Amino acid sequence: MTSQEPSRIGGYDILETLGKGAMGQVYKAVQPSLNRIVALKVLPPELASDPERVERFDREAQAIALLNHPNVVNIIDRGHDADRFFFVMEYVAGTSLSAVLSARRLSLPETITVFKMICRGLQAAHRKGIVHRDLNPRNVLVSDDLGVVKLADFGISRVESISLRVGTLSTAEVSMGTMHYMAPEQAVDMGAVDQRADIYSAGVVLYEMLTGRVPVGRFSLPSQLNTEAPSALDPIVLRCLATDPADRYPSVDQLLTSVSALENDLRFGVVQDLRGLSRSTSKILRRSTQKFWTGRSPRRRAALAAAGAVIAVAVLLGVWLSTRSRTNAPATTEDPVNEYPLIESPLAGGPFGETPAVGADTAQLEPDQQTVGVPATANGTPAPAPTPGVAKPRPATPIAPAAKPATTPATTTASAAAPGPAPARPKVDNTLASDTLPSDLKVARDKLEAGLIGPALEDLGKLIADHPTSPLLLDAYLLVALGHEREGRLEEAKAALVEIRSRFASDPRTAEAIFRLAELTVASKVSGKEQLARDLFWQVPDSFPNSEWAPRALVKKAGLESDRKLVVRDETLGIPVPALLVTHRRLADEYPTDAAAEGALWALGEMYADLKRYDLAVEAYTKLAEQFPNTKLDAWWEAGQIYDRRLDDAPKASEAFGQVPSTSKNYSAAQKRLKRIGG
């Protein structure tokens, strides 16, 4: 233990630090009265003066206290020592599931066992009205033998029955390290999620246990990456990962039922194989040993015993081979579950929407597609320029059809709401060309949607060569980029988008190309890709301020800044601030009617309050309440709190508390404040 760490808190002797988080530090400690090891979570002293942080800390303690279940960490005590708030939990000897997965891949039986215990912990929480909202392998504690599995860290849980204020932690705290595990709707409105968000997160954890990867961008079925995983497990995983909550399991109970049924089927299959082998062996044994039984020679009896031993070994070997063939058989074209080798993650959106996020797996995709020369134009002269990144036609890779238009989270932050589904593609204007180009483009687009990517790219290459001056050329390049992107050839896709940016610099549709180029940059392996992507996202509102892609680009930029916790000097305030603040401010100022402005204003209010710029914080909350009168975010309550406690402005506080709607969780508290103030 370092000299900076306390030696004793609330009667508990500190042994060592187990971990740190945004909402507290966890120590391994001794409870002297019972001489046992415990885990002590302590709110940092610098946060103890913030009543909202204390309330959130207390909410976690109360959430755990509501649960008494073998798959949830139990709470033992709660207290206050000088300037430190703390609560005490049972100590789980072992490590996190994240540490286990970083060291090795779990076997199929281990995976199913651990996953069922995770689900039982969620089941207990959901029955008490608690939604975890931060389920990921770091928050799952396991013993060394995996016999003990417990859910932990309910710091951002939603607890309907105990929370005075159903809110969330700050943007940075929510998104830190959990981006790939959050349900799509959770990134849009953190406060509106239900238990199906936990089911999505559980699906990500299950996929990671099976494959060692998280399902980001275009991802393969678990049975394709892990030969031990049966194909019957794929539909269970995919249902958990459905973009639309309505398409997921409605409850953990039903998820557990599906997993248990699969487990029973696998066991039954092994038993049947064993019975079949036993029957075959019995027949062979009867035929081949009948003469031995009729004789009384010791030599014959010895030979019979040896034959029996050999047959017993053969039976055991047959059972083992049967089990291996059941779970390790490679996917075949007859397998209906493997009809679509690659699945689009909910974070990848629809055909013209979001692209694979950071970490998209491309290792399994085919390497280095050669570009081909562009055919001559109709009059026999060479085409003016080769088509960037148009690959040779090859057998098409089927693509999983998008189930529904995804309401894709446009950011990893919980406070920045996505501005809705991806904007519709520009309609082809049939007046722009007298030839068949519009209909040819439609055919190429239809081929892409049908998974015929090679033929589609071949058609598009010819169209681009034959119509070098058509205004519809931009649409052709967008489709070329989409085709390459669908097959994981990100560099070829980026080349097509760069061509658009260079050739059609003033066309409004170029905003989409720059937006997609930024996203592909994030997913690439280019050095300094985050900064390049941020610059590209910033370029969209700079060059195309009236484009529907502009606010989307700012939301995406904010997500990158939140992940990296970037700090910049703000010329407006004259101090270093989170880069996220500058981006959110531009989003709120320049696009006040966009849906994303709602989350941006809420985030601004929190960040300004953290900077003690209470005048700006209350301004942000007031704008939020006025511009989005139906918001579920308790902006009037927050404004009243600041006027009352920070700015000592009783009239303004009274006015704000009076605006708190009756549907708010804080309505009763606001009415009490009004009486106290005299409003």
CA 24 to CA 391: how far, in whole Å?
52
Given a cut of 80, is residue 248 above it in pLDDT? yes
- In the DSSP assignment, the letter for residue 89 is E
Catalytically active residues, by annotation: 134
The tokens 């063939």 sit on which residue?
A: 325
- Determine the pLDDT at residue 18: 80
Question: Average pLDDT in the 190-202 region?
Answer: 84
Output the six-digit token pair for 197. 């968000």
CA 620 to CA 622: how far, in whole Å?
5
CA 448 to CA 163: how far, in whole Å?
49
Residue type, 219: F
- Determine the pLDDT at residue 55: 66
In terms of C-beta density within 10 A (0-12 exposed, 13-18 middle, 19 or more buried), how is residue 545 classed?
exposed
Output the six-digit token pair for 60. 């976690």
Output the six-digit token pair for 32. 């002297």
CA 405 to CA 346: how far, in whole Å?
10
Q: Is 168 helix (H, G, I), strand (E, B) or coil?
A: coil
CB 117 within 8 A of CB 143: no
pTM of the predicted model as reported, rounded to 2 decimal places: 0.43
Given a cut of 90, is residue 679 above it in pLDDT? no
Given a cut of 50, is residue 323 above it in pLDDT? no
Higher per-residue confidence, 308 vs 438: 438
Higher per-residue confidence, 347 vs 495: 495
Q: Is 55 helix (H, G, I), strand (E, B) or coil?
A: helix
Mean per-residue pLDDT over the chain, rounded: 73
The mean-pLDDT minimum among 88-92, 266-270, 623-627 falls in 266-270
Distance set, CA 355 to CA 550, 563, 622 (Å): 16, 18, 35
Helix (H) or strand (E) segment spanning residue 303: helix 298-328
CA 516 to CA 351: how far, in whole Å?
12
The tokens 């009037």 sit on which residue?
A: 636
Given a cut of 90, is residue 638 above it in pLDDT? yes
> What do you get for the CA distance between the two ends of the chain, in Å?
53
CA 631 to CA 599: how far, in whole Å?
10
pLDDT in tens, 271-316: 444 445 444 444 444 444 444 444 445 555 555 555 555 555 555 5
Please, which residues have CB within 8 angstroms of residue 645's CB and are 6 or more apart in sequence? none
Q: What percent of the chain has pLDDT over 70?
A: 65
- In the DSSP assignment, the letter for residue 19 is E
